[in-house]
Chains A and B, each alone.
Chain A
Amino acid sequence: MDPIGGNEVRSMNGAKDVEFGVEAYQFGEELHSLMSGPPVTGNSFTALLDLPANQAMELLHSQAVDDSPSELRLKGHCVSHQSPYNHTLNWAPAFPSNTALIERSSKYSIFAAADATVDRVGGGGGGQGSPDSSSMPSNSRANVMKVKSEPADSGSNPNSLPHASGPTINEKQMNRKESGKKGKGSSKRGKTTANDNSEEVEKLPYVHVRARRGQATDSHSLAERARREKINVRLKLLQELVPGCNKISGMALVLDEIINHVQFLQRQVEFLSMRLAAVNSPMEFNVDSLFSAGNGSVTDSIFPSVMPLTWPEVQMNSDRQQWQFDYDKSANSALFHSSQRKMEL
């Protein structure tokens, strides 16, 4: 099975190279521009990036690395998946670093080829389904095999790395945030390599979560991270829906806003239903004709942008008793006028 896996990986690598040559060009430019930036000395470089020295050295040796985002990301994946390499990479010669990169690149290529699309926002093939999970075990093992048998596969590196940096640029920000956690993660690095490989091979209904740099990689935290991501995605959708939530940061305040909005809407429904109930006119008419005749303008005029501010005012001013009183006197129009006046404000 392993040689077959190796062949798969190799063919996938080739196909991927063809497929993503264009991307490689684009990212190659980006990388070149960034490569001129970082300073020469190892210490300042690492200080700049807040990374341990050995890994920085390893990456300095490698070919197309010196931009911080992709580096962090690479490190992240490096840490979680190839920890045996970390120990040997103190000023290591180019060979092991290249193989580490080859492994990483081949890992990316697996995701890419299995996916056959560029778009892998969900963290390295999150939730992609059967092709991923089925090919993963064979490929993860094939990685090791391939690395040992093809040390000189440096040709594919520049192509695959820039490509790999593409889809995971979305993770880049998250990586930066989470690189602070590397202290905690480093202790768990050593023991969970085998675990990692099997962890990534998650079952179909589960969301594929990639362990990033410096993060704990046991199943509990992975599950928790997946759960948190789900929650954050849904919360973002809600924030877009509720007006004025985009600026607020912090879950508690956002939830407060959402609660207020729901209560506001429910109160509006209550208010409107009272008014509808008080409407005495018979309702034998064709609703369709009413709607076709300029409904859009009516709604627009009823709901100017100022509405959310004015409706609560109307609510507070007229409590239930007042409504009954008004309605009894058929002062429907009076109420209506007052609300209209407020809306005009």
Chain B
Amino acid sequence: MENVSQDQAKNNQIRWRSAAEQKTYSSKLVEALRHVRRSSPPDNVSSRGRAVREKADKVLAIAAKGRMRWSRAILKKRLKLRLSNHKKAKDRSKLAAAGNSRRKNLKIEVPKKKRLRPLQRRVRVLGRLVPGCRKLSLPNLLEEVTDYIAALEMQVRAMATLTELLTGANAVAGNVAESSNRLEISRQLEHPPQS
């Protein structure tokens, strides 16, 4: 049983490293970026940056096909945010009176400091870093982290190549190869085919 899960994990890792996966991710990301570009106001770069980050994560989670827990957690986060946005408008009036005060009291009364061993502390930190893995046991957490790291590396690779390609021909020529190709791309970008 242990060997089977290990094989699965290795398959997953190989998947994240493949160029095909990166390609599909990049194309989906471009699609998502177009949405962001259209929807958000162009001047507020920071908010758009955050939106881009969220979209990138979301697309990553979709690329993971929901196999791992962190991907499901990322997708759930979007849903929850949307639902809570709808709910907030309704329930704000209710909460203000009773709920908030109760919550505040609870918070003040219970500032417990847990005496965690350093190892356990690190495990908790790691759990907080990976989305959706806060209260996970150590073996499962390690599995999630393995997949998450592989996925993140792919995300970084894809986004870097994308920015590289998009920020175009002004780049330092020595480092980046295929300058002719880039000129072509920049020409395409300057005069995009109106679709």
Residues of chain A with a CB closer than 8 A to B163's CB: 272, 275-276, 279
Most buried by A among B3, B123, B174: B3
Interface check A29, CB cutoff 8 A: no
Main DSSP-derived SS at the B contact region:
helix
Partner pick for B150 among A241, A255, A299, CB 8 A cutoff: A241
Whether B155 and A269, one on each chain, are in contact in the complex, defined by CB atoms closer than 8 angstroms, is yes
Residues of chain A with a CB closer than 8 A to B79's CB: none
Chain A nearest CB, measured from B5 CB (Å): 9
Partner pick for A298 among B53, B159, B165, CB 8 A cutoff: B165
Whether B150 and A266, one on each chain, are in contact in the complex, defined by CB atoms closer than 8 angstroms, is no
Main DSSP-derived SS at the A contact region:
helix
Residues of chain A with a CB closer than 8 A to B160's CB: 272, 299, 302-303
B82-90, B93-101, B106-114, B187-195: which lies at the A interface? Answer: B187-195
Whether B152 and A299, one on each chain, are in contact in the complex, defined by CB atoms closer than 8 angstroms, is no
Residues of chain B with a CB closer than 8 A to A241's CB: 13, 146, 149-150
Residues of chain B with a CB closer than 8 A to A301's CB: 175-177
Whether B6 and A237, one on each chain, are in contact in the complex, defined by CB atoms closer than 8 angstroms, is yes
Interface check B45, CB cutoff 8 A: yes
Chain A nearest CB, measured from B157 CB (Å): 6
Q: A273 and B49 in contact (CB under 8 A), knowing A279-B166, A332-B167, A333-B167?
A: yes
> Which A residues form the contact surface with B (CB < 8 A)?
122, 126-127, 205, 207, 227, 229-231, 233-235, 237-238, 241-242, 251-252, 255-256, 258-259, 261-263, 265-266, 268-270, 272-285, 287-288, 290-291, 293-299, 301-303, 320, 323-324, 327-328, 332-333, 336-337, 340-341, 343-344
Apart from A262-B145, A265-B153, A269-B155: 10 A-B pairs, beta carbons within 8 A: A230-B2, A234-B146, A265-B152, A266-B152, A277-B51, A287-B26, A287-B27, A291-B23, A298-B176, A299-B157
